[in-house]
Amino acid sequence: MKILVTGAAGFIGSHTAERLSKLGHEVIGVDNFNDYYDLQLKQMNANSIKEKGVEVVNLDLRSDNLFNTLPLDIDYIFHFAAQPGISSTSTFNDYLTNNIIATKQLIDYAERCENFKMFVNIGTSSIYGLEATFTEDVAPKPASHYGVTKLAAEQLVLQKSREEVFKACSLRLYSVIGPRERPEKMYTKLIACGINNEPFTLYEGSDKHLRSFTYVGDIVDGIVSVIGKQDLVNGEVINLGTEVEHTTQEGIEAVEKVLDKAIKIKVVSKRAGDQSRTKANIDKAKKLLNYNPKTTLLESVTHQVNWYKANF
């Protein structure tokens, strides 16, 4: 299969591109290499997947030249590219253009692809709102610009399935952790603070937040399993994550255990739009994709610490 992966220099996108290449597919990765975080980290991810046979194209999906730059014989699209997370430095326009406009541009491109099999949108548990413990048929109540625009992007993709233009599905991911996690995310920050003896910034009350911390390898297992199942998953929204919940405090303690040292904590004011609980309901993923995440929190943290130490 010839597969396009957007956001391929990012955290989960790079792991997925790498896995698809390992499975024998021809993979083209797209990334705009923006400066949301250190470009050297994105370049490191890109170099890593290039070594595994992935072609990487520097391209902004918001541009109008997708048809002239990308091949039109793509079989699958895995769409990771987005303005990520909840950030005080990101404007509404950042979320609007990167999550909605860019997705619409990619949809227009997909409509032009010959013998196109499926568009796989990568969604997020943030679509559900302040609590994400539900089945996929519950009405979303996103509580951030990120969640709102990711829901809109998801619906733009699924619209094409309903119109029978092409087959599509959306995978809502839960609290993914592991090697290559972005530098502003919890575990990379915790590890960096622990190693460098710096205080970790903790939002007030968030130590009690519950999360389905899911190892990136388990997430990728679910993502790539949709290949060949386009008739089965067409039009579906599917949660991917672990059913095991941990508090943020338990996450901190896991890092401390692996590093064998205490981490200094600096408590700051609460952050608006932050989820209080995420617990992946994966009954549909088990049924349709035979999905079965197995990596424990401690195993996940150990993998991430080893990666951090090897690269920084």
Name the active-site residue from 36, 95, 146, 291. 146
Neighbours of 33 (CB within 10 A): 14
Q: Which tokens belong to 158?
A: 């699924």
Query: Is 203 annotated in the active site?
Result: no
Output the CA angle 14-86-304, nearest 5 degrees.
Answer: 40
Look up residue 234 and give its DSSP letter. Answer: T
Q: Is the dihedral of CA 242, 246, 247, 249 positive or negative?
A: negative
CA 272 to chain centre: 21
Rounded Cα distance, 170 and 155, in Å = 9
Rounded Cα distance, 164 and 305, in Å = 45
Instruction: List active site positions.
Output: 146
